[in-house]
Structures are given as C-alpha cells and as structure tokens.
Amino acid sequence: MARPREFDRDAALDKAMQVFWVKGFAATSTDDLIQAMGIGRQSVYNAFGDKKQLYMEALGAYQRRTVGGHLTRLNAPASPLQGISDLLTGLTAEEDAQRALGCMGVGSVGEFGVSDPALVEQRTRTATLLGKRLAERIREGQAAGEIQPGLDPAETAGFIQMTMTGLQLAARAGAGAGDLATLARFTVDRLRSA
C-alpha cells in the first residue's frame, strides 16, 4: 500500500514558484527547490516529476493566478478605458522588492525564447485568452465613445500586451512605481477619444 503524501502539494508548488520566479529556471538548483519546498528529493520527484516538469507546473500556476488578476482588473469597471488603465497600473507592485521580480512569464520568454514548444504553447494560450478579452473591451470602449473608433481592436490589444511586457521588463530592470504608472497612463491616453 502506498504511503500517503505528508505535505501540502499546493503550498510546496507555491514555494517552488517563488524560487523559479526569483532565480529563473537555469539558476535554480534541485537543492534550492528542496530547501524552499521543505520536502525530500524523492518526494519532489514523486509529486512533480523532474525539475522541468515542476517549472512548467509552477509557471502554469503563476500564469493562472496573474491572468485571473489581469482579467478582474480589466473587467471590473463599467468603463472599458478605466478597465485597461486598471489592468496596466495593476501590473506593478508598490513594494520595491516585489516589483523588481517583474513577471515570471516574461522571465520565461527571456530565458527560453521559442526553444521550448511546450512553453510556447502555454504562453500562447494565456496571451490569446487575455488578448481576446482586451479586444472585446476595446470594441466596447469604441461603442461607448471612450476609445478612438479608428483603432483596430486586435492590433490595439496586441499593443497593450506588448506594453504589459515592457512594463514588466522595466520593473525587473529597476524602474520605480511612479515611472511605470506614468508609462501606463501615457498608453491609455493614446487610446482615448478626442
């Protein structure tokens, strides 16, 4: 009979996610993960597979959490333009140490590029989900007269997503909260109807 697991799998995954988020995949050792997760090496392998499988699961959990937050901020206000503003300004933490981590998803792009098909597929699913909703909100904003009617919603959504990546990279590079808020406001102002 198999022995029952003696640790909280979700809590262990969250701790692994934090290590990967700070250090990236390559710089994270199995010992780093074991120490952070507080479980034995064999338990890590039994519960999560190898380091790459653990990374993929941690990144997936991170993306679900962050995209959920993105969609909440985007959808909450009645005003589509305010939703886009909330989405962009909500990307960066006020706390310096948290903000300096940037985005784990953007970090994975920097580390792997397009060399790993499974990561590309995972990122594409996430980006497509957010891009589709952004385009819908842009169309809503155009219908309400808030957003310039001549903008292509899909292209504008892509621009906003690239802006999100840029903001996260700037945060990781040490940009302050005020500077990032200014860039977010500048982006939103470019969408506004005259």
Three-class DSSP labels, the chain:
CCCCCCCCHHHHHHHHHHHHHHHCCCCCCHHHHHHHHCCCHHHHHHHHCCHHHHHHHHHHHHHHHHHHHHHHHHHCCCCHHHHHHHHHHCCCCCCHHHHCCCCHHHHHHHHHCCCCHHHHHHHHHHHHHHHHHHHHHHHHHHHCCCECCCCCHHHHHHHHHHHHHHHHHHHHCCCCHHHHHHHHHHHHHHHECC
pLDDT confidence of residue 5 = 55
Q: Is residue 4 part of a domain?
A: no
> pLDDT tens digit string along 83-119?
999 999 999 888 888 888 889 999 999 999 999 999 9
> pLDDT tens digit string along 40-78?
899 899 999 999 999 999 999 999 999 999 999 999 999
Residue 46 near residue 33, CB atoms below 8 Å: no
- The reported pTM is 0.89
Kindly state the average pLDDT of the residues 124-129.
Answer: 94
Residue 137 near residue 71, CB atoms below 8 Å: no
Nearest Cα to Cα of residue 66 among 58, 77, 76, 55: 58
Q: Is residue 1 part of a domain?
A: no
pLDDT band at 1 (very low <50, low <70, confident <90, very high): very low
> pLDDT tens digit string along 24-48?
999 999 999 999 999 989 989 999 9
The CATH number for 136's domain is 1.10.357.10
Tokens 């802006």 sit on residue:
163
pLDDT band at 194 (very low <50, low <70, confident <90, very high): confident
CB atoms within 10 A of CB 35: 12
Q: Is residue 140 part of a domain?
A: yes
Q: Is residue 97 part of a domain?
A: yes
Kindly state the average pLDDT of the residues 169-178.
Answer: 92
Domain that holds residue 103: 9-191
pLDDT confidence of residue 149 = 97
pLDDT confidence of residue 7 = 81
Q: What percent of the chain has pLDDT over 70?
A: 97
Handedness of CA 127, 128, 131, 136 (dihedral sign): negative
pLDDT confidence of residue 6 = 73
Q: How many domains does the chain have?
A: 1
Q: What percent of the chain has pLDDT over 90?
A: 88
